[in-house]
Chain A
Amino acid sequence: MLYSILIYAAEAELDQLDQKAEEAILARHGVLQSHMRASGGLGPFARLMSTSAAVTIKPGEGKPLVIDGPFAETKEQLLGLYLIECDNLDEAVAAASLLPTDIGSIEIRPIRYFGTGDLAGAKAAEQSG
């Protein structure tokens, strides 16, 4: 089964973390990545830009409205995601638990349909981190 791991935390709080704490978080991501690589279950993953960089399209009168910012004003924001393949939910939970769990919430949402896509720009984005 394919699962997505959706990572939420408060941007304003992450903004306050010092380099050491940031490195600690990255290290945990490294652990998840190598764990999933070992089982051949690591799919694409992404870190999202800040919600200030986002726009949201909402229904408007006549034509849709493009609004600045994220979909909803929430305490925690969607910051990044993984796609992983696991045999069952227990494994997916165990994998996601390798990430830092004390700075926000991690949602595991099974994938209903997955298209592999054909991203020319993905390699470039991978370089820039």
Chain B
Amino acid sequence: MTGRLCREDRFAAVLGSARPRVVGALTRYFRDLDRAEDAFQTASLRALGSWPERGLPDDPVAWLILAGRNAGIDAIRRNRRTVPLDTDQISDGLDSEEAALERIELDDYRDDILRLLFICCHPAIPQSDQMALALKVVAGLSVREIARAFLVTRKAMEQRITRAKRKVADAGIPFATPSLAERAERLGTVSGHLYLMFNEGYASAGEGAHIRAPLCEEAIRLIRLLLRLFPAQSEIMGLLALCLFQHSRARARLDPDGNIILLDEQDRGLWNRTLIDEGRVLLEKALRKHRPGPYQVQAAIAAVHCAAPCAADTDWAEIDRLYGALESLQPSPVVTLNRAVARAKVAGPEAALALVDGLGDALQGYLYYHGVRGALLAEIGDLKAAREAITCALGLAATAAERQHLEARLAAL
């Protein structure tokens, strides 16, 4: 390859970028996720047969929706011989193709894609299966790729996705155009879902780390898609900024064995400045709107870390203040625990312990609670209590990397 981009790459990129819109529209027509996916699949095959000869259509998305609708209708007709057709399953728009296509304006695409993502977040489906479903249906990853990312066999993932789809079908899909309030609610749910997907990839360490990194990239890609659809939403800007800041450290946060390197000890020269710059711009844009939200505040915290040339230069007073803001927006013991870490740097370990002491009931089963408490107790010289705290943390360690890290700390006490 001498830097030549083949036409197949282009077609694949067009199909990939059209997919959420097309599957979203087809799901609205057929009211059936499986049928929509199959129809898209058939339409894509037809495209790959036709485009190389006739060239790209002016509007590939409309072309694919039309081809997909025809393919879906054909499939229904074929099945009709054996299964009686339930005409109620198909929405009214089918009579007039042109009119239907003309109606698909940006607003429809927006709601179609949002609906598609929202369907995947159905509360009846376990969280990891929600992600798998979104990766399959919206992002268009193959079952094999998804299975790899979740460290399970292809067959197991196949079953999980089938089960998730059945649950979605049983639950009924909300097809009416959402009201403003419903749209905002869906956006909130979908944003949270995509952040979980990002974290699912980000939090992984050990041998799974490299395999799971694509989850971060897919999540960022989907958040970008969401922001293109809702370009004025400050919380989506904040969410994208937050993920870009976190992802900028990807190369610095794992050692060659895949163990996590803590923020303080990372080689900041390895941080991806391009991602950090983009995150900064998005955060600035979001803050101009004066509509603060948890993602913006978390992005602001990440931005403070990214702005420090070395760990010692970190503006902990600003981070303490921002965690205070986050506590009032979204009170949670984990947020308070994080604030305590910043408070320790600003006001010393005693002040931090005063914050941490109130969290014992809520965070008894949370490894980092005991880890942070142990570090603070060690700092004030209460080694016995520190050892007890780290021992508690050790009891909660889920991975070999965590265990190793805590054992080293225990030995150092």
Give me the interface of A with B, judged by CB distance under 8 Å: 10-17, 20-21, 23-28, 30-31, 49-53, 55, 66-69, 73, 100, 102-103, 127-129
Q: Given that A52-B228, A68-B231 are known contacts, is A14 also in contact with B13, CB under 8 Å in the complex?
A: yes
Set of chain A residues within 8 Å of B237, measured between Cβ atoms: 52
Residue of B nearest to A129 (CB): B274
B70 contacts the other chain (CB 8 A): no
Which of B277-285, B296-304, B340-348 interfaces with chain A?
B277-285
Q: Is B3 touching A24 in the complex (CB atoms < 8 A)? A: yes
Q: What are the residues of chain B within 8 A of A21 when measuring CB–CB? A: 5, 9, 13
Inter-chain contact A128/B13, CB cutoff 8 Å:
no
Q: Is the CB of B228 within 8 A of A11?
A: yes
Q: How far is the CB of A74 from chain B (nearest CB, A)?
A: 12
| Count of interface residues, chain B, beta-carbon cutoff 8 Å | 31
Q: Is B232 touching A68 in the complex (CB atoms < 8 A)?
A: yes
Residue ranges of B at the interface with A (Cβ–Cβ < 8 Å):
1-5, 7, 9-10, 12-14, 16-17, 106, 221, 224-225, 227-228, 231-232, 237, 240, 273-274, 277-278, 281-282, 285, 288
Asked if A15 and B231 sit within 8 Å, CB to CB, the answer is no
Contact indicator B273/A12 (Cβ below 8 Å): no
Closest 10 pairs (CB-CB, A-B): A27-B3, A16-B16, A128-B273, A12-B17, A69-B231, A16-B13, A13-B13, A68-B232, A68-B231, A21-B9
A and B contact pairs by CB, cutoff 8 A, 19 listed = A15-B17, A16-B12, A17-B9, A24-B5, A25-B3, A28-B5, A50-B278, A51-B228, A53-B281, A53-B282, A53-B285, A66-B288, A67-B232, A69-B232, A100-B5, A102-B7, A127-B273, A128-B273, A128-B274
- B279: min CB distance to chain A, Å: 10
A66 proximity list for chain B (CB < 8 A): 288
In the bound complex, how far is the Cα of B9 from the Cα of A99, in angstroms? 16
Q: Chain A residues with Cβ under 8 A from B274's Cβ?
A: 128-129
Residues of A within 8 A of B12 (CB): 16
Question: Distance (Å) between the CB of A70 and the closest chain B CB?
Answer: 9
- Tell me which of A10, A53, A102 has the highest count of chain B C-beta atoms within 10 A of its own C-beta: A53
